[in-house]
A and B are shown apart, each in its own frame.
Chain A
């Protein structure tokens, strides 16, 4: 094969490799965006749950007051604490879920970059191999 043909083959392999790398980086960026979105959404949901807790505690106090029971002593306090405890359990579960998702997404982002690089190297090697084969013919 002519020298030009071999050079073109090598150039094509390089282009393909660069595409793989770019693709990996793009995918990684998408994953990181996705992770950020998950984190942001988790924060919003935390605020909603906090508002929900406040509403529940206010309704309980209204309930206890309507019944003529002091909401600051005795069972009302226990019930109120119980609500808060449930709230914190929600918060913990949400935190674990969110962190897990964010971690997965970040890992995936890193993996995408590495995959892109591996694929890029593979493309380069294949290109070089092809060029070498061509060169020898």
Chain B
């Protein structure tokens, strides 16, 4: 057991940090930091132990901020992610921030709307546009989904930082093997039920990607049109909808100790976007998505919670903690999904949940 367990929430009205020093029995919270500002994502960089936050203030524009004291104080970078003047794009929102690999301690990545990837080599002080993705030959044909043209998932291969995946809503998944010089679509076998061509080269709508930390070739995906697993580092995808009540949902998380155990929170459909049968449930599979079971102990019998794409995470303890933040401001915790306890209620809509041990 680590000395300190942290749960960081990005919410519609700022960052909240929950901290446990007694093995996840009790929690103390701080926040909101950046009061009144939308925080789509906040996480802990395990290399530097700095917190990283995407800060989307509708007046001042988007930026990145870091904290060296577990969220007590924050510092904005000097040069936030911005397109070059030669571009006709302007950064609307910063969606996701991702630490690089251990060997590149100052490298960070972030994904923005409109869909672009930025890289920082100085711990978030300044950012440079990834030209390879920006110049991808199909870019001008990309169309936004309901939430914009957002690049929301970034996976860096811990064995080779030149290999990365990004996921873009209503565009799909792209992979690079040359450090971002060139990108190719990896959408084979992914459905696009909303399109005339059900299996196009691109135009699918991934909602969230996660890589298992101890088996990096294993990547799970919640898509607009189903749940998927890749066993070959995101080259090919296998559907794992199984007995789930719906193909549709946003978050997906993997158990830290068991790469075969995965969690999702299905919604009824892309049209309704409510929990099936009016009861919010997390579903888990112990066999890589072949069979699923509902985890409802401790959750209300009737509830219309929704969970945003970054709203579920697991920690590094054994059993691995599962944390779920809802769009109506509840934060739930369970040990491997056994029984949910409410850590906090009455929070602003929770956009992201990140768990870490320090």
A and B form one complex? no
What is A's interface to B at a CB cutoff of 8 Å? none
